[in-house]
A = this chain, B = another copy of it.
């Protein structure tokens, strides 16, 4: 049994922490809200600050919304860094800036502690089912130590490289997912407007070079008009913002990512940002005055 810290117990963090507790570990929790009752009933200790979590736990997980929240949890006056002693491991499972992550890791390393960036994909469903994909950056030794804990929360767990590379992989994932959704949307909208049955076109394309997980899952949602989340457009906007801000900082041109972010902005302008990201198709549907299929 290890002493584990968990900071950020929202719709992702709460079930993830639950899997660690179910695995027999002692939890030290901190959140801006009261941590879930089931974790406390299960024996978790609620800490009044992130620093206290870092004092009492040996491995400290973070699962918060964005880069500034990680920075505050780590480096505010009563943050994780203030409570660390040598040999502990900080594991940030939030999806945040890869560039900021490298700085955070260096500052944690100065406390003689290891840092892993380990963002996930799979959403609330994957968090509850312990089937998250986990993309990790950091030193191999720390990865090996934490791996049995990752395996309680996810299934497809890869050490991609050094610190930041986990977050970079997550950004790359979100670029591809967004652009593949837009690809399927443009193809099916063209097909529908040309008079073909988009469901049959999708089926005909499934075996060939156009095949993708997005054509399979999100293509079906577009055809069936099943836009309940899933993964909300507003969260994908945040992820593409990480891509585009990162691109500006790094000096990379991402023209279709930028264009697709604008189409997500168009969805938001039309009140659609709470829908599943497959509803990205509605931007060009509005622009074209035609729907892929009737709901």
Contacts and interface: CB of A to CB of B under 8 A. Distances in A.
A177 interface: yes
Nearest to A123: B209
Given A165-B196, A176-B215, A201-B169, A289 B251 contact: yes
A203 interface: yes
A233 to B, nearest CB: 15
A55 interface: no
Contacts of A253: 284, 287-288
Nearest to A183: B179
A188 B246 CA distance: 13
A204 to B, nearest CB: 4
Interface in A224-278: 243, 246-247, 250-257, 259-260, 263
B252 A288 contact: yes
A78 interface: no
B194 A99 contact: yes
Interface residues of A, number: 73
A142 to B, nearest CB: 17
For the complex formed by this chain, how many copies does it contain in all?
2
A243 B205 CA distance: 16
Interface in A171-196: 171-173, 175-180, 182-184, 186-191, 193-196
B205 A169 contact: yes
Contact of A214 (B98, B172, B209): B209
Contact of A169 (B165, B179, B196): B196
Nearest to A215: B176
A169 B190 CA distance: 9
A179 B176 contact: no
A109 interface: no
Contacts of A287: 253, 255
B260 A256 contact: yes
6 A-B pairs with the lowest CB-CB distances in the bound complex, closest first:
A212-B212, A179-B183, A172-B187, A176-B210, A253-B287, A158-B204
Interface of A: 98-99, 121-122, 133, 135, 137, 156, 158, 160-162, 164-165, 168-169, 171-173, 175-180, 182-184, 186-191, 193-197, 200-201, 203-205, 207-215, 217, 243, 246-247, 250-257, 259-260, 263, 284, 287-290
